[in-house]
Amino acid sequence: MSDNLIIDKYKTDNIMLQIKDLHASVDGKEILKGINLTIKAGEVHAIMGPNGSGKSTLSAVLTGNERFQVTQGEIRYKGKNLLEMAPEIRSREGIFLSFQYPVEIPGVSMVNFMKTVVNEHRKYKGLDPISASDFLKLMRDKKELVGIDSQLTNRPVNEGFSGGEKKKNEIYQMAMLEPTLAILDETDSGLDIDALRIVANGVNKLRTKDNATIVITHYQRLLEYIVPDFVHVLYQGSIVKTGTKELALELEEKGYDWLK
Amino acid sequence: MELKQKYIDAITKTVSEISGEKPSQLDKFRNVGLKHFVELGLPDKSDENWLYTDLSTAFSTNWELKPKGLHRKIDIETIFTCDVPDFDTHLAIAFNGQYFDTGTDFPDGVIVGSLAKMSEQYPQLVEKYLFKAASHEQRMTNLNAALATDGFFLYIKENARIEKPIQIVNAAFGNESFFINQHNLIIAGKNSFAQIAYCDHTLSATPFFINQLTEVFLEENSELEFYNVQNSHNDTTQVSSIYVNQNRNTNFHSNIVTLHGGLIRNELRVKLLDKEANCNISAINLTDRKQHVDNHTCIDHIAPHCTSNQLYKGIYDDEGTGAFTGKIYVNKGAQKTEAYQSNKNILLTPNAKVHSRPQLEIYADDVKCSHGATTGQLDQNAMFYMQSRGIDKKEARMLMMYAFANEIVSKIKIEPLAAKIEGMIYRRLRGELSRCANCAIKCS
């Protein structure tokens, strides 16, 4: 099948992301050992699993982190071969990762950073750079949506932010970019219950029938707020069980041992 | 040894030729300079101050030691244009270390002119300061003492506040190669204030060896800002030694931006002689290809209750090399000293190299001091973070380097100058800035 035909077929079938037999390693050590996963537009998928099962590796591979090598398998995003795309292209195509550990960028102000980001996305779509007033309005609207402190956007990216502020800042950037596929990697870790609610609320407001979300988490707690359509259990590099949101409750109760 | 003797002979010959040719107080120091030069010789690894910068190649050229200024009349506008529309300054120019009278009117509060000429016109004033800060322990200073015949003289009178910045432009110019020795004397009188933009520039493509000596004196309650922009071609060897003597309740602020140049050595030696003397010095160098930039500082806390702050940064690309040696010396009597120093370097390639040597010597017991140095690559995690937001690698690199440099630019208090330098750094990082950015002569 030609690429265009594949893209059309994915569109007809409403498939956003399809992972087939994905193997990936870091520093020569295989972490992912044959992942299969299909995500349709409008869906929320939770990926759960114990420490070291490969959850963060999966998000790193989806966003193109060079530290991880894909050794086997295929990923189609909206029908396109994702593994051929540079990280920035994946972003401009609508993939967003909310980092487990957001990175500090000394000296680069949030405002400049966001402006560069927004304009890179616009350029990719063939649009002119955003006007100063439209940009300010966009920032203001989105800040409100995620309840982020106005002062934070004047500071360098993530520098001196508290753990909670960093996570909010991720969702704020997500709101600015309105991705089609959002990957939330342990977004709940380090958040108190109020912050968790605000962050989850922000994510829910951004949900539409045209975008999809992957929620990576240890705990069931976040899934009370962001309700998944499917829950997958990742164990030792492959998906060992898939179910609905009830599976998350069962995991909370029994732990992961019974699945081994 | 052979090279040293060659220079002793050449200097002796040149000294006898230039002495009295254009009489000035500089003549009094020629033999002292020569004597110390015979003792100490050329800067090399036998001198701890010169471990990381090798001038032997530069010295092995057969330089013309006799100064050659520009003696024909010249329209400054055609040679030098400043590309900042709002940057309104009092402009002074030297060609090859020789003051060039542009006919500019300076305000009443300031005397600007040729050091040689002013040493005759204001003999007592010049005598009071000349060679009172510079040290004959420094080898390049001795060369300068023996050979320099001119330079800038700048005196800010007592109580004068010069609102408009004074711009000093050094231009190396000519069809043949020179060894340029230049001696500047800058005096901030009691209660005075001035801002100086000091630009180093080459106007023709021939190689130059520039040896600048600048003595700066801050009298009680004075404040001086000194901004140095270095944008010379890659066949330039420049050693710039700045000696600063600060008296009671003075503020000295210096900022050096090195954009282009072959081999550059900047020495800044500050003496905090009396209480409440504060110095704030910073620098950034953007170094690539085979360039070499060496920043060398020495802050001597002699009196108590003084502060010093140093932030020196460098970005090294290609096979660029450099060094930072920073010494804070807190004397026994200098209680309540606050002295801070930081050196940060980014190496963009495996072939780029920098030696960083922060040094702290404290002989007082009630002080706050710190020093630190970091050298590393651009943070790969930050790079990926930016890429994952849609910024490509090249742009992400640029943003990070720009931010790194901007910390220094933000210390420039003359707004239009800061804007100009910010623009120059931006273009420099993108490889768009040539050394000829300000020059109307397209010599290359």
Looking at per-residue pLDDT, the higher value among B386 and A13 belongs to: B386
Residue B147: its H or E element? helix B139-147
Residue A239 pairs with which residues in a beta bridge? Answer: A234
**pLDDT, position B435:** 58
% of chain A with per-residue pLDDT over 90: 72
Quote the strand ranges of B66-192, DSSP E.
90-95, 98-100, 110-114, 152-156, 166-172, 178-188
Asked if B387 lies within 8 A of A108 by C-beta distance, the reply is no
Residue B388 Cα to chain centre, angstroms: 41
**pLDDT, position B160:** 98
Contacts of B406 in chain A (CB under 8 A): 107
CA of B39 vs chain A CAs: smallest distance (Å): 48
Asked if A105 lies within 8 A of B391 by C-beta distance, the reply is no
Q: What is the pLDDT of residues A159-198, one digit of tens each?
A: 989 888 999 999 999 999 999 999 999 998 888 888 888 8
CA of B393 vs chain A CAs: smallest distance (Å): 8
ipTM score here? Answer: 0.96
pTM, rounded to two decimals: 0.87
Q: Kindly tell me the burial class for residue B432, based on how many C-beta atoms sit within 10 Å of its own C-beta (0-12, 13-18, 19 or more).
A: exposed
Taken in order A154, A160, A162, A163, the sign of the CA dihedral is positive
Distance from C-alpha of B133 to C-alpha of B128, rounded to nearest angstrom: 11
Contacts of A107 in chain B (CB under 8 A): 400, 403-404, 406-407
Q: How far, CA to CA in Å, does A184 sit from each of A170, A189, B120, B209, B407?
A: 9, 11, 76, 59, 33
**pLDDT, position B1:** 57
Contacts of B381 in chain A (CB under 8 A): 103
CA of A91 vs chain B CAs: smallest distance (Å): 5
Contact B431, B317 (CB under 8 A): no
CA of B400 vs chain A CAs: smallest distance (Å): 7
CA of B345 vs chain A CAs: smallest distance (Å): 14
Residue A4: its H or E element? helix A3-12
| DSSP letter string, B174-231 | -SS-EEEEEEEEEEE-TT-EEEEEEEEEE-SSS-EEEEEEEEEEE-TT-EEEEEEEEE
- CB-based contact, A159 to chain B, within 8 Å: no
Asked if A91 lies within 8 A of B395 by C-beta distance, the reply is no
Asked if A88 lies within 8 A of B393 by C-beta distance, the reply is yes
Q: Between B384, B399, B404, which is nearest A87 by CB?
A: B384
Residue where the block lists tokens 């309104």: B88
Contact B41, B151 (CB under 8 A): no
- CB-based contact, A180 to chain B, within 8 Å: no
Distance from C-alpha of A234 to C-alpha of A232, rounded to nearest angstrom: 6
* Selected residues 351-390 of chain B with any CB under 8 Å from a CB in chain A: 379, 381-382, 384-390
Residue A114 in this model has a pLDDT that exceeds 70: yes
Asked if A124 lies within 8 A of B390 by C-beta distance, the reply is yes
Tens digit of pLDDT at every position of chain B (444 positions): 589 999 999 999 999 999 878 889 999 999 999 999 999 999 999 999 999 999 999 999 989 898 776 666 666 665 655 555 557 888 899 999 999 988 888 999 999 999 999 999 999 999 999 999 999 999 999 999 999 999 999 999 999 999 999 999 998 888 888 899 999 999 999 999 999 999 998 888 889 999 999 999 999 999 999 999 998 888 999 999 999 999 999 999 999 999 988 999 999 999 999 999 999 999 999 999 999 999 999 999 999 999 999 999 999 999 999 999 999 999 999 999 999 999 999 999 999 999 999 999 999 999 999 999 999 999 999 999 999 999 999 999 999 999 999 999 999 999 989 988 888 888 888 888 765 555 444 443
Backbone angles phi, psi at A203, to 5 degrees: -60, -45
**pLDDT, position A226:** 94
* Selected residues 192-251 of chain A with any CB under 8 Å from a CB in chain B: none
Q: 3.40.50.300, 3.30.1330.120, 3.40.50.2300, 2.60.40.10: which CATH number matches A44-63+86-259?
A: 3.40.50.300
Map out the domains of chain B as residue ranges: 3-274+412-429, 298-377
**Which of A42, A36, A41, A56 is closest to A98 using CA atoms?**
A56
Residue A86 in this model has a pLDDT that exceeds 50: yes
CA of A249 vs chain B CAs: smallest distance (Å): 32
**Band (A144; pLDDT cuts 50, 70, 90):** confident
Asked if B388 lies within 8 A of A121 by C-beta distance, the reply is no
**pLDDT, position B440:** 44
The Cβ-side half-sphere exposure at A235, using a 13 Å CA radius, reads: 13
Asked if A117 lies within 8 A of B379 by C-beta distance, the reply is no
**pLDDT, position B371:** 94
**Which of B101, B112, B187, B97 is closest to B149 using CA atoms?**
B97
**pLDDT, position B443:** 42
Residue A225: its H or E element? helix A221-225
Residues for chain A: how many in total? 260
Distance from C-alpha of B270 to C-alpha of B254, rounded to nearest angstrom: 11
Contacts of A88 in chain B (CB under 8 A): 387-393
Asked if B388 lies within 8 A of A156 by C-beta distance, the reply is no
Contact B218, B246 (CB under 8 A): yes
Contacts of A86 in chain B (CB under 8 A): 387, 392-393
Distance between the two ends of chain B, CA-based, in angstroms? Answer: 37
Distance from C-alpha of B254 to C-alpha of A47, rounded to nearest angstrom: 56
Angle between helices A193-206 and A163-177 (to 10 degrees): 10
Asked if A107 lies within 8 A of B386 by C-beta distance, the reply is no
Asked if A124 lies within 8 A of B388 by C-beta distance, the reply is no
* Selected residues 124-143 of chain A with any CB under 8 Å from a CB in chain B: 124
Cβ-Cβ contacts under 8 Å between A and B: the total is 73
**Band (A202; pLDDT cuts 50, 70, 90):** confident
Residue where the block lists tokens 């399809």: A18
